[in-house]
């Protein structure tokens, strides 16, 4: 299955195939697309990837991506640095930023505890989080992890760590429930069950809607 | 929807989004994947794309991809250069090469006639094909285009050109029919109908099977 017209094409297809979810056919389609474009498209593409990896650093405070030492969120004086939202990765951080509903800072774990994938707490940025809680006067930690076994395990691990060190910080988890705009009859039972258990006063939802 | 932590990340995501079938989420997934890998992975990736585009040329004879002037297929003396298989693009050429059933040479059109997409015969490598037929003693032209309206139109256009110039060349089209291994009841009516009209003597299929 490896009869490419030239070695160069082969190398480019191989490079694409190393990306997640890209097979040989898709890789080939992308390479042929680039071949049809003017030369500078490929050049800019290649350079953008190289520079991105070489010049991107991680924020020393929250492990977000940045081009200096401290990211734009951590260095923003208007944000509440006593309120920390814990996320799995930068994609989740970006998603929360898009909501425009959070004015605290973040802590990027870089993953969730997943024994199946061989990821333990030591592979995550948990130590720096605990260090921050010990040395600074953090008021609240909001766990914004996926509603999966792995996400829940990670939240529980951090919760236990906090108890273990006797740290006094408010520990909360983002609300789980029926998505806005969803038909109740199509919601899965677990989500629906949780949304009844975690019901909130009607005035609260009204306040949230009014704000947005 | 464009709140990226850094400009560099944004540039890399944009570069990926220019590829066919890649949206913002997928682009982001790829960029974050590259960020997690060692630096040389991104460097090799970027370099492979740049070199591929810069150093890839098209064969002067058949428009296949090559690193010199004439591609490895056209310059292969063991192949029959009187037998030309006409294909839409390099992907189809590679697919036919994989079958190991064709020992002639190719002619890559670079597309098919598609008025909907604004692609006319003048946008394709038809002139060089006609020139080849006029000046060389080509024995047979095998049209291996997709069984679509566009593919059929293109075949017909070339067929008319050949008649117009009074060229004596055998003009054939690859067989259409029920895929090998397919259940008859699931084949579509047009394919099944064609496969009955274009039935072949039983001995022929036997010979093909024995060869492979």
- Confidence class for position B36, pLDDT limits 50, 70, 90: confident
**Residue from A1, A17, A49 to probe the interface with B (highest B Cβ count within 10 Å):** A49
Chain A residues close to B89, C-beta within 8 Å: 32
Do A86 and A165 fall into the same domain?
yes
Do B109 and B167 fall into the same domain?
yes
- Confidence class for position B2, pLDDT limits 50, 70, 90: very low
**Residue from A4, A6, A13, A91 to probe the interface with B (highest B Cβ count within 10 Å):** A6
Chain A residues close to B79, C-beta within 8 Å: none
A111: nearest CA partner in chain B: B36
Model confidence, pTM: 0.68
Q: Say if the Cβ atoms of A14 and B48 lie within 8 Å.
A: yes
* Residue B160 in contact with partner chain A when CB distance is under 8 A: no
Q: Which of B72, B57, B135, B45 is nearest to A42 (CA)?
A: B45
Nearest to A55 among B8, B51, B65 (CB): B8
Residue B82 lies in a domain: yes
Separation CA B177–CA B101 (nearest Å): 18
Do B106 and B36 fall into the same domain?
no
Please tell me the predicted confidence (pLDDT) of residue A6.
Answer: 82
Mean pLDDT of chain B: 87
Residue A63 lies in a domain: no
Chain A residues close to B41, C-beta within 8 Å: 18, 53
Encoding tokens for residue A86? 């814990």
Residue B190 lies in a domain: no
Do B50 and B123 fall into the same domain?
no
Weakest-pLDDT range from A93-97, A205-209, B82-86, B170-174: A205-209
Phi, then psi, of A26 in degrees rounded to 5: -65, -40
Residue A195: C-alpha distances to residues A173, A176, A188, B31, B99 (Å): 14, 7, 11, 35, 57
Do B38 and B82 fall into the same domain?
no
Percent of chain B clearing pLDDT 90 (strictly above) = 51
Do B120 and B151 fall into the same domain?
yes
User: Is residue B1 scored above 60 in pLDDT?
Assistant: no
Nearest to B9 among A12, A65, A98 (CB): A65
Chain B residues close to A12, C-beta within 8 Å: 48-49, 51-52
Do A84 and A156 fall into the same domain?
yes
Measured N-to-C along each axis, helices B39-55 and A7-17 cross at an angle, to the nearest 10 degrees, of: 140
Residue A210 lies in a domain: no
Q: How many domains does chain A have?
A: 2
Do B45 and B14 fall into the same domain?
yes
Residue B135: CATH number of its domain: 3.40.1360.10
Separation CA B170–CA B140 (nearest Å): 4
Please tell me the predicted confidence (pLDDT) of residue B196.
Answer: 79
* Residue A94 in contact with partner chain B when CB distance is under 8 A: yes
* Residue A62 in contact with partner chain B when CB distance is under 8 A: no
Please tell me the predicted confidence (pLDDT) of residue B18.
Answer: 92
Do A50 and A90 fall into the same domain?
no
Residue B128 lies in a domain: yes
pLDDT per residue rounded down to tens, chain A (212 residues): 445 678 888 899 999 999 999 999 899 999 989 988 898 999 999 999 999 988 888 999 999 988 889 999 999 999 999 999 999 988 889 888 888 888 999 999 999 999 888 999 999 999 999 999 999 999 999 999 988 889 989 999 999 999 999 988 999 888 888 787 777 777 788 888 777 777 777 666 655 555 44
Separation CA B51–CA B34 (nearest Å): 19
- Mean pLDDT within B5-32: 90
Please tell me the predicted confidence (pLDDT) of residue A211.
Answer: 47
| Enclosing domain of residue B142 | 76-174
Chain A residues close to B71, C-beta within 8 Å: 5
Do B38 and B100 fall into the same domain?
no
Please tell me the predicted confidence (pLDDT) of residue B3.
Answer: 60
Q: Say if the Cβ atoms of A53 and B34 lie within 8 Å.
A: yes
Residue B30 lies in a domain: yes
For residue B15, give how far its alpha carbon lies from the nearest alpha carbon of chain A (Å).
5
Chain B residues close to A73, C-beta within 8 Å: 5
For residue B192, give how far its alpha carbon lies from the nearest alpha carbon of chain A (Å).
28
Residues in chain A, total: 212
Q: Kindly give, in sequence order, each residue whose CB lies less than 8 Å from that of residue A156, ignoring residues fewer than 6 positions away.
A: none
Chain B residues close to A65, C-beta within 8 Å: 5-6, 9, 35
Looking at this predicted complex, what is its ipTM? 0.70
A160-194 pLDDT tens trace? 999 999 988 999 888 888 787 777 777 788 888 77
* Residue B68 in contact with partner chain A when CB distance is under 8 A: no
Separation CA B150–CA B147 (nearest Å): 8
Q: Is the Cβ–Cβ distance between B133 and B107 less than 8 Å?
A: no
A2-11 pLDDT tens trace? 456 788 888 9
Please tell me the predicted confidence (pLDDT) of residue A184.
Answer: 77
* Residue A90 in contact with partner chain B when CB distance is under 8 A: yes
Do A150 and A86 fall into the same domain?
yes
**Residue from B16, B41, B46 to probe the interface with A (highest A Cβ count within 10 Å):** B46
* Residue A97 in contact with partner chain B when CB distance is under 8 A: yes
Residue A24: CATH number of its domain: 1.10.8.420
Do B82 and B38 fall into the same domain?
no
Residue A185 lies in a domain: no
Please tell me the predicted confidence (pLDDT) of residue B209.
Answer: 54
DSSP string, A180-204: TT--GGGS-HHHHHHHHHT---HHH
Residue A124 lies in a domain: yes
């Amino acid at each position: 299955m490896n009869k490419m017209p030239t070695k160069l094409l082969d190398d480019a297809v191989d490079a694409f195939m190393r990306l997640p979810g890209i097979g040989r056919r898709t890789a080939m389609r992308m390479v042929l697309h680039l071949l049809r474009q003017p030369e500078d498209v490929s050049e800019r593409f290649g350079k953008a990837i190289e520079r991105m990896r070489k010049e991107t650093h991680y924020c020393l405070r929250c492990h977000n991506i940045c081009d200096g030492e401290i990211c734009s969120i951590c260095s923003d004086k208007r944000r509440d640095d006593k309120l920390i939202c814990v996320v799995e990765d930068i994609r989740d951080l970006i998603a929360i930023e898009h909501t425009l509903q959070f004015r605290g800072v973040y802590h990027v774990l870089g993953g969730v505890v997943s024994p199946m994938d061989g990821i333990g707490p030591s592979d995550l940025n948990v130590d720096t989080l605990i260090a921050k809680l010990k040395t600074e006067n953090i008021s609240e930690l909001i766990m914004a992890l996926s509603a999966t076994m792995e996400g829940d395990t990670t939240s529980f691990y951090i919760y236990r760590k906090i108890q273990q060190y006797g740290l006094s910080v408010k520990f909360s988890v983002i609300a789980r429930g029926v998505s806005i705009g969803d038909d109740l009859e199509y919601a899965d039972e677990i989500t629906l069950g949780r949304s009844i258990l975690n019901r909130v006063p009607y005035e609260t939802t009204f306040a949230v809607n009014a704000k947005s």
